[in-house]
Amino acid sequence: MRKYSVAQILGFILSFFIPPLAIWFTEGFQIDFWINVILCFFGLIPASIHATYVWIVWIERKWVTHHGEEVTSHPFLVFSKEFERRSRWRGNGQDGFFGYFDDNIKGAHGHNMVGGDVDPEQARPIQS
């Protein structure tokens, strides 16, 4: 069974009510944030759908890398390169605002663990 942190649940809820803020928490002021701001002008529903999608993909990629699987493709309809870097590995201080509060695996050791060792080869960005 998956364990979701309070920060992940909060971000998911924010994606429904304040979509650009949820995107900002995952990747900062990158292109997906600005796309979401533009979608807000068309209404809350398109922006919420986009933010929820980005948030779900971000959590899924974190889960996959946490369990040692290699992420080899860029997610569909996510345009930011920053997303690619922040969603691949943990413990580098660059995995988004909620990365600092994500307490699923604190104190573990090995690849992609908060407070553990980071494999430089796995940390490199995916080449398109």
Write out the two tokens for 3: 């364990």
Tell whether pTM > 0.85: no
pLDDT in tens, 26-63: 777 888 889 899 999 999 999 999 888 888 887 777 76
Cβ burial, residue 62 (10 Å; 0-12/13-18/19+): buried
Q: Would the pLDDT of 23 be above 60?
A: yes
Element spanning 119, H or E:
none
d(CA 12, CA 19): 9
pLDDT in tens, 42-51: 999 999 998 8
